[in-house]
Structure 1
Amino acid sequence: MNKILYKILVFLPCLLVLCSSCTDDSDRPWYQDVEALESCYLAAVRDAEEALPQEICRTLPAIVSPDSLDDLRQQWMVSADGKAFVLVGSMMSSAEAEGYPAPSDELFTMDGRMPWVTLPYDLADHLLERLPVCSDSLECRMRLVQLLGLPPACDYDCITFFYAEADGLFRPTPDNETTDHEAELDFPASATPDYREWFEENRQFSYFSDTPYPWTRLGYTYDWHGGTSSHVGPGEFIIREGATVRVAAKTGIWSWYREISRQTNRQPGI
């Protein structure tokens, strides 16, 4: 079967559920329609399982150095010993956020955790493009959940911002360097056996576990909102276990959305 046709057929159940929800007499807002959300999410997982050449994004954000900014809005810090750290953010639950130190100038080692992160300005750009005005904190949270390719039932309600050692970040793609603008479909010869093993384990977990994820393997998140014009979300990275980081801030989703809206002269409902 033609791969493009296959992907269209994959999303038909999602579209049918969305259409039926539009005529639902319960007047539920879309972000509380559990059936439609779950259908779209599972369709996204099935779609993401196969990465196609035409799905490669050639404008991924790059992380290089404080002297070579990919975007002027990148925020960097340099430690006393000359190591460069870049500001990234990870959506998580309040309980998970409490497991990290309070925001301070203290550096610590990321032990036992490998958070998936985005660059704050990139995340803000994508969310404001797809949700330019919002007066409901629940809608805002669910739209961010979708944008980041997270399951609709997750309890994530805040963002923890880290200054992460640039050398401690990698892109979850076959070629995992962070300094270019696109990902490849195949492993380069330099890919280590350990990385190949991690990649395959994460692939199996993402598509075939009881808690699947629409992992694109192309360096960007999968936006699974049914009405989006593009499934390409912000660029994603992972902080390596053992990397040095500093907690810069912790904030609720709604507070963050209102702040980025004000910064761009957009005023969400209060």
Structure 2
Amino acid sequence: MKKQLVSLSKKLITLILGIILIFGLPMQKSLAACPENLQELQELFDIQLQRSYTRGVVDAAHAREDEIDNTLWSITSDNPDLIWREVDGKPQVLMVTWTAWNGYNDKVGEKMQLSREVWTTPVPQLQTFGSELSLNEDNLTLRLEQYLGLPPRNGKSKFVQMWVEPKDLFRPCPDPEINDTSCDLEFPDNVEPLHEEWVNDKILTSYGENGYPWTRLGYTYDWGSIATEIGGSEFVVSSGAEVEIDSVINTVEYVR
């Protein structure tokens, strides 16, 4: 019985501190509104999570020059942080996506043609970020959702690493180049019309109800950090690209 009370107390403390510290609620307001049972407190916590995420979506809709990050990971052979290999004389870089889809599970070590665009980050950027977190499984998953600009409790459960040829990658920005360390706010003069159309279509569909905080600046929107909005460097693998699945690893195992 004593152990159960201690466990319950720890959960209550974690939830209260999460609401106060992560979302900046005044101490007296949080305590005055403190529900009498854990379920109601969890509901309050989830409401604050959703509000924080929604604020991120609204903010991301208005990209500004002072939000440009000049330290994005570049996909270049001289970037020492990347993992490369060569197959039939063609370079391939290791990328990772977070998903709940089971279609990759039996494809490890095999090539597959993607039937849709896949949003990725370069390996090992996400592992480096996750290895610095000392959180339990639920909180770790939430922190990754925040870092990658995803809705809370969205159900993603595994990380899939894949080998990708650089020609099949582009940045989800007006400036799609992958070999530099920043994204411009405006389309370059030589941008492909199809890419300009892709960006404009995404703008129309990204920021409404059930939207995403797409920065258009080459990085994910970290809606859980007090210090910065800059998350991971993001790249899109084009639909129709042929990739090789390197591994499928559950969320917690991947980042620890």
- Quote the residue 1:126 is aligned against: 129
Q: How far did residue 31 of structure 1 move?
A: 10
Contact 1:151 1:213 in 2 (8 A): yes
SS of aligned partner of 1:102: helix
Residues 1:223 and 2:222 aligned together: yes
Residues 1:100 and 2:101 aligned together: no
- Quote the residue 1:36 is aligned against: 48
Q: How far did residue 17 of structure 1 move?
A: 5.4
Contact 2:206 2:214 in 1 (8 A): yes
Q: Residues 30, 144 of structure 1: CA spacing in aligned structure 2 closer, same or farther, 3 A cutoff?
A: farther
Residues 1:59 and 2:78 aligned together: no
Structure 1 residue identity aligned to 2:113 = T
Equivalents in 1 of 2:28, 2:45: separation in Å? Answer: 11
- Quote the residue 1:211 is aligned against: 210
Q: Greater shift after overlay, 102-111 or 47-56?
A: 102-111
Alpha-carbon RMSD across the aligned residues, in angstroms, is 2.4
Which of 117, 121, 138 is the matching residue for 1:114? 117
Equivalents in 1 of 2:157, 2:29: separation in Å? Answer: 25
Contact 1:31 1:37 in 2 (8 A): no
Q: Which has the larger radius of gyration?
A: 2
Structure 1: runs of 5+ lacking an equivalent: 1-13, 259-270
Equivalents in 2 of 1:90, 1:74: separation in Å? Answer: 15
Q: TM-score, normalised by structure 1?
A: 0.79
Equivalents in 2 of 1:163, 1:16: separation in Å? Answer: 41
Equivalents in 2 of 1:89, 1:185: separation in Å? Answer: 26
Equivalents in 2 of 1:15, 1:101: separation in Å? Answer: 37
Percent identity (aligned): 30
Matches within 5 A, 1:126-165: 126-129=129-132, 131=133, 133-134=134-135, 136-165=136-165
Equivalents in 2 of 1:37, 1:182: separation in Å? Answer: 29
Q: Residues 168, 38 of structure 1: CA spacing in aligned structure 2 closer, same or farther, 3 A cutoff?
A: same
Structure 1 residue identity aligned to 2:46 = V
Structure 2 residue identity aligned to 1:158 = K
- Quote the residue 1:250 is aligned against: 248
Q: How far did residue 242 of structure 1 move?
A: 1.5
Q: How far did residue 233 of structure 1 move?
A: 0.4
Q: Residues 103, 248 of structure 1: CA spacing in aligned structure 2 closer, same or farther, 3 A cutoff?
A: farther
Structure 2: runs of 5+ lacking an equivalent: 1-21
Which of 86, 95, 102 is the matching residue for 2:93? 86
Paired residues, number:
231
SS of aligned partner of 1:167: helix
